């Protein structure tokens, strides 16, 4: 099931409208914005109790490609849409957490810039890492969403209340996912899950309105 687009800003005057005093009609100073995105009710129901979201890095927050520098260091490409989505989750009281099999100064710097403090690096056995984070937050698996793209992500995804995968994920991972995003890894897939969680939490419309003021 893919997110649907609705109509936004229904109270704006039609294009070319003329005011009673002549000339084009002015846009209202404060217009209530109607969100354009929506998701299937069954997905929103699964997402309603989520308080922490676990993300893989390669293939989820990046496109999965490994670009090597002349010094043999991996260079990763991140998406700014995903970055804002992760910040919005935190504003809504939902904790983003990362469990990744890799580690690098650049990756740590990116997560620090996003305010992500719950992160496990160089970890292939992801279930114990997730348990550690849940214990620190005082949460259980009923409050978990998880997004991954390959087999090491399956133990976390299979226990989560809501599991998601990008379309570039391995077939076995997509088979276990409750939701497969339209956007690919590193191309807005994480933002799509963030949007779903924000809508389910009831915070999406208010956060959107803040940006439209």
Token pair 């276990």: residue = 176
Sign of CA dihedral 105, 128, 98, 156: positive
How would you classify the pairing of strands 95-99 and 118-120?
A: parallel
Q: How far is it, in rounded angstroms, from Cα 163 to Cα 25?
A: 47
Q: In whole angstroms, what is the distance from residue 177 CA to residue 41 CA?
A: 16
pTM: 0.83
**Residues 147-198: pLDDT tens digits?**
999 999 999 999 999 999 999 999 999 999 999 999 999 999 999 999 999 9
pLDDT at 30 (0 to 100): 60
- In degrees, to the nearest 5, what angle opens at C-alpha 78 toward C-alphas 55 and 186? 65
Per-residue pLDDT reduced to its tens digit, 92-131 = 999 999 999 988 888 899 999 999 999 999 999 999 999 9
Sorting pLDDT into bands at 50, 70 and 90, what band is 17? very low
DSSP string, 173-200: HHHH-SEE-SSPTTTTHHHHHHHHHHHH
Write out the two tokens for 119.
């992160």
* Domain residue extents for the chain: 49-212
Answer yes or no: CATH 3.40.50.1000 is held by domain 49-212: yes
């Amino acid at each position: 099931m893919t997110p649907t687009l609705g109509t936004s800003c229904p109270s704006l005057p039609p294009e070319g409208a003329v005011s009673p005093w002549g000339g084009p009609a002015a846009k209202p100073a404060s217009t209530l914005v109607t969100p354009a995105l929506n998701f299937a009710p069954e997905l929103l129901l699964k997402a309603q109790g989520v308080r922490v979201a676990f993300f893989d890095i390669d293939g989820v927050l990046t496109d999965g490609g490994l670009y090597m520098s002349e010094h043999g260091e991996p260079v990763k490409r991140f998406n700014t849409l995903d970055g804002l989505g992760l910040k919005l989750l935190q504003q809504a009281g939902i904790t983003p957490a990362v469990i990744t099999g890799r580690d690098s100064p650049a990756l740590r710097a990116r997560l620090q810039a996003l305010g992500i403090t719950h992160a496990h690096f160089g970890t292939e056995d992801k279930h114990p890492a997730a348990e550690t984070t849940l214990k620190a937050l005082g949460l259980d698996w009923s409050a978990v969403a998880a997004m991954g793209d390959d087999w090491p992500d399956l133990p976390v995804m299979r226990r989560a209340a809501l599991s998601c995968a990008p379309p570039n994920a391995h077939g076995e991972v997509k088979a276990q996912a409750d939701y497969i995003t339209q956007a690919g890894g590193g191309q807005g897939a994480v933002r799509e899950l963030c949007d779903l969680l924000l809508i389910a939490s009831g915070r999406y419309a208010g956060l959107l309105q803040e940006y439209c003021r």
